[in-house]
Amino acid sequence: MAQHFHLNTPLLESISMSKQVGTSVYLKMENSQPSGSFKIRGIGHLCQQLVTQSKGVVCSSGGNAGMAAAYVARKMGVPATIVVPSSTPQLVVQRLQDQGAAVRVVGKVWDDANAEALRLAESEGLTFVPPFDHPLLWKGHASVMAEVAASLGVKPGAVLLSVGGGGLLCGVIQGLKDLGWMDVPVIAMETAGADCFNAAVKAGKLVTLDDITSEAKCLGAKTVCKQAFEYSRSSELTVISELVTDRQALQAVQTFLDEERVLVEMACGAALAAVYSGLIRRLQDEGRLPPLRGPLVVIVCGGSSIDMQQLSSLRLKLQT
Ligand code: PLV
Report the distance separating Cα 67 and Cα 235, nearest Å: 36
Burial class (CB in 10 A: 0-12, 13-18, 19+), 291: exposed
Rama region for 208: left / alpha / beta (φ>0; ψ in -120 to 50; rest): beta
Give the pLDDT confidence of 122-148 residue by residue, as tens digits: 999 999 999 999 999 999 999 999 999
Q: Who contacts 121 (Cβ-Cβ below 8 Å, separation ≥6)?
A: 58, 127, 128
What's the CA-to-centroid distance between 42 and ligand 1, angstroms? Answer: 12
Asked whether 14 and 289 are in contact (CB, 8 A), the reply is no
Specify whether the CB–CB gap between 196 and 224 falls below 8 A. yes
Q: State the average pLDDT over residues 144-167.
A: 98
Q: CA 179 from chain center: how many Å?
A: 21
Q: Which of 40, 86, 219 to mutate to test the pocket of ligand 1 (most atoms within 8 A of CB)?
A: 219
The percentage of residues in the chain with a pLDDT greater than 90, rounded to a whole number, is: 97
Find the helix or strand (DSSP H, E) in which 259 lies: helix 246-260
Tell me the C-alpha distance between 45 and 87, whole Å: 28
Q: Of 221, 241, 223, 222, whose CA–CA distance to 231 is shortest?
A: 241
**Per-residue pLDDT at 4:** 86
250 CB under 6 A from ligand 1? no
pLDDT-derived band at 163, boundaries 50, 70, 90: very high
- Give the ligand 1 atom nearest the CA of 169: 22
| Pocket test residue of 30, 39, 60 for ligand 1, highest count of atoms within 8 A of CB | 39
pLDDT tens string 174-229: 999 999 999 999 999 999 999 999 999 999 999 999 999 999 999 999 999 999 99
What are φ and ψ of residue 313, in 5° steps?
Answer: -70, -35
